[in-house]
Amino acid sequence: MSSNTQKVHVSELRVGMFVSRLDRDWLETPFLLQGFHIEEEGDIDVIAEYCQYVYIDDDKSVKPKASEHSSNVGTARQVRVNPNIFQPEVPLEDEHRRVMGTFRQARSLTKTLLDDIRLGGAINTEQARHTVNECVQSVIRHPDALLWMSKMRDENEYTAEHCLNVCILAIAFGRHLGMEESELQNLGMCGLLHDVGKMKIPPEILNKPDRLTVDEMRIMMAHTVHGRNLLLSSSGIYTGAIDVALSHHERIDGKGYPRQLSGNSISRFSKIIAIVDAYDAMTADRCYQTARTSTEAIKIIYKDRGTHFDEQLALKFLQMVGLYPAGSIVELYSGEVGMVIESNPRYRHLPRIVMLRDKDKQPLPKEVMVDLSLVEKGELSKDYLIKQVWKDKTFGITLKNYLERGLFMA
Ligand SMILES: [Fe+2]
């Protein structure tokens, strides 16, 4: 480490500083390089999401000109605290018990909805609205129940599961952004229906395990236009969903499709669904790719902010997902392995988990709930800090088995 390196609290960070070390492993953060310049205020907010202290290399830091950032001179910066950190209305256990049946039904209804379209039928608007409303009510009560369930996937049902997951994630994201219930209903509908156009793509292209040819790619990209046309001809659909079906693959830099829109010519809901869609797709096993961990996916979204994704929305999304979203498989420093069931908005690195494997990675005779925030209170040893996130099916842990059985159901 350079002799001009100093430990700095995140509240003292400024644009231009060079961050050479964090108070945690780089792999646990969206920062891709080991060492980077803080280019704008938004970077500081992201650092504050993950770290309390960082190390600044004064030799590599760039001093702002006197005229710049004058409002910061001489005063400690206020790190923005998200005012919309959700306050759950009910205990997580209650919400799990209440929504598990609803979730299974929502999955099956989504599959039926898409099958109907594939067979040339109309979109069952009433059913779609009912499904979205159930999701909105549950996310308002406690987002982590449905977010946990959305991680329990069956690879054979990708498109239906993806559409419902995007619906749930979009609602949770909208809640994080402070949207009202009626907006959440509209955004959820956009999520549920964003990919309906895929039902018009030949299955051999939609499910092709190899790389698509240029012609096949063109056919695949047309799902946006098919989606718009399907929704245009349906009655009683929220009109914003038509735009999202058409525009969810547009990019901020104008390199998306089908119209190469850029910046603010893309609607806010389309920008939101673009982020949520990418996150869910990256964290799923597909015929042509294995799932990435949530951490890997948020790194990609962070890297692509401002080019692919709207910068501010991407940063807000990372804030919502956090390091250890519900459903993450985590290994502790003790060697034990658990699954995150409830995030902790105050101590992001200390979620509540269910312990599943002992330090030799053997199944535990009885699954035990552990609130890692007890580490902060000194009631649990630091061996209970999280060391690493693992993918589904690591250590013999298969997430979808927990959906079949349910948590807290006994
Ligand atoms: Fe799509």
Tens digit of pLDDT for each residue in 135-153?
999 999 999 999 999 988 8
Average pLDDT for 347-365: 91
How close is the Cα of 118 to the center of ligand 1, in Å?
16
What integer pLDDT is reported at residue 344 of this predicted model? 85
Average pLDDT for 14-31: 79
Average pLDDT for 255-260: 97
What integer pLDDT is reported at residue 215 of this predicted model? 96
The size of the chain, in residues, is 410
Nearest to 200 by CA among 231, 174, 171, 170: 231
DSSP annotation of 7 reads E
Protein residues with C-beta less than 5 angstroms from the ion ligand 1: 195
How close is the Cα of 88 to the center of ligand 1, in Å?
31
How close is the Cα of 104 to the center of ligand 1, in Å?
23
Extract long-range pairs of 281-288: CB within 8 Å, 24+ residues apart: 281/162, 283/151, 284/153, 284/155, 284/158, 284/161, 284/162, 285/153, 285/155, 285/392, 286/155, 286/158, 287/155, 287/207, 287/208, 287/209, 288/208, 288/209, 288/210, 288/211
d(CA 307, CA 311): 8
9 strand-pairing partners: 53
What integer pLDDT is reported at residue 64 of this predicted model? 62
How close is the Cα of 244 to the center of ligand 1, in Å?
9
Alpha-carbon 77 to chain mean position: 28
How close is the Cα of 272 to the center of ligand 1, in Å?
13
d(CA 296, CA 300): 7
Alpha-carbon 354 to chain mean position: 21
What integer pLDDT is reported at residue 27 of this predicted model? 64
How close is the Cα of 139 to the center of ligand 1, in Å?
24
Helix (H) or strand (E) holding 356: strand 352-357
How close is the Cα of 90 to the center of ligand 1, in Å?
34
Average pLDDT for 167-186: 95
What integer pLDDT is reported at residue 367 of this predicted model? 81
d(CA 197, CA 229): 8
Average pLDDT for 301-311: 94
Per-residue pLDDT of 285-303, as tens digits, reads 877 778 898 888 998 999 9
Nearest to 392 by CA among 155, 93, 50, 108: 155
Whether the predicted pLDDT of 173 surpasses 90:
yes
N-term to C-term CA, the chain: 53
How close is the Cα of 346 to the center of ligand 1, in Å?
34
Per-residue pLDDT of 61-110, as tens digits, reads 887 655 444 444 334 444 444 444 557 889 998 999 899 999 999 999 99
How close is the Cα of 223 to the center of ligand 1, in Å?
7
Say which residue, 180 or 402, is predicted with more confidence: 180
How close is the Cα of 227 to the center of ligand 1, in Å?
9
What integer pLDDT is reported at residue 1 of this predicted model? 54
Amino acid identity for residue 336 in this structure: E
Output the average pLDDT for the chain: 87
Full-model pTM: 0.83
Whether the predicted pLDDT of 276 surpasses 50:
yes
What integer pLDDT is reported at residue 78 of this predicted model? 42
Superfamily of domain 92-321: Hypothetical protein af1432 (1.10.3210.10)
What integer pLDDT is reported at residue 79 of this predicted model? 41
How close is the Cα of 198 to the center of ligand 1, in Å?
7
d(CA 52, CA 101): 40
What integer pLDDT is reported at residue 382 of this predicted model? 87
How close is the Cα of 278 to the center of ligand 1, in Å?
9
How close is the Cα of 195 to the center of ligand 1, in Å?
5
Q: For the CA atoms of the chain, what is the radius of gyration?
A: 22
d(CA 81, CA 61): 26
How close is the Cα of 298 to the center of ligand 1, in Å?
19
CB 76 within 8 Å of CB 11:
yes
Question: Which residue is listed with tokens 């499910």?
Answer: 207
d(CA 295, CA 314): 14
Q: Is omega for the bond preceding 258 within 30 degrees of 0, making it cis?
A: yes
What integer pLDDT is reported at residue 3 of this predicted model? 64
* Residue 30: pLDDT band with limits 50, 70, 90: low
Question: Which residue is listed with tokens 């205990």?
Answer: 91
Average pLDDT for 180-200: 96
How close is the Cα of 129 to the center of ligand 1, in Å?
20
How close is the Cα of 249 to the center of ligand 1, in Å?
6
How close is the Cα of 273 to the center of ligand 1, in Å?
9
